[in-house]
Structure 1
């Protein structure tokens, strides 16, 4: 199984499959709070379809949606993994040196914000999906592999 880290500007490579050992984690008991995106209606429809297909567990963590509740957001492990659908296009996508990763045929741009875990934003899809991971996932992209099938099923490629 392979994963590919490459500059974002390169064409998508052959489908990669990620299978990394999930990091053992325990729930903190605190519900995450996130900003709910406000995408255009067409993009919101893709997000609503995605919400219906999201798994009950990701990387071994139980579903625990952030506040406020919305079909545009989802979470697992009390904030360890947070998905937001219909987010604006990140400025970093204009950077030719931005890094990308492919997980089970879904391409993601990688950002490493200071003081937090990695943030991934889908690319080449009809709406942008953001997945933030806490620091335990700094080197583990199993959550992206777990989310790939629902993303592929509900959010068509933009190419």
Structure 2
């Protein structure tokens, strides 16, 4: 009789797990790897998170999973910002493409899937913005929205 009780108790738990799995697979939230910078950069990134705009290129903020003050997102497919990323190796290339948008320098990297990755240059923390292939028609418009917050919260200098 003891094993029958375990089977009956196990059925509702199994039903809850199946329901939860069904909900998560239907969820099309963006995901982003959360950087793990040192405490100084983390503080700068938290300040940036508080200063970020509600909209970027006309898209409302929808942060990626897992939730973190080091990541942010707008729209779907999402424009993703990650703060405190490591220095990209491409910054060692004197032929690398770059741009300046409203006083913030960016390294430009076109990805194999047609998306673009921009990483701040000459700032105390590296901020990376990825624009998915389906959103590249507006060029660097997302950076125009993000530059004021970066300029305000991430001081000029060389990230350590």
Same fold (TM over 0.5): yes
Give 1 or 2: higher helix fraction.
2
Change (3 A) 1:99 1:139: farther
Larger RCO (alpha carbons 8 Å, 6+ apart): 1
Give the aligned CA root-mean-square deviation in angstroms. Answer: 1.3
Equivalent residue, structure 2, for 1:94: 92
Equivalent residue, structure 2, for 1:58: 56
Q: Give me the whole-angstrom Cα distance separating, in 2, the residues matched to 1:113 and 1:122.
A: 17
The count of aligned residue pairs is 131
Structure 2: runs of 5 or more not aligned: 1-26
1:73-95 Cα distance to aligned partner (Å, 9 max, x none): 00000343100000000010001
Equivalent residue, structure 2, for 1:103: 101
1:86-125 Cα distance to aligned partner (Å, 9 max, x none): 0000010001100101111000000001013100000000
Give the TM-score, by structure 2 length.
0.79
Runs of 4+ in 1 over 6 A off after TM superposition: none
Equivalent residue, structure 2, for 1:137: 136
Structure 1: runs of 5 or more not aligned: 1-28
* 2:84 alignment partner, SS class: strand
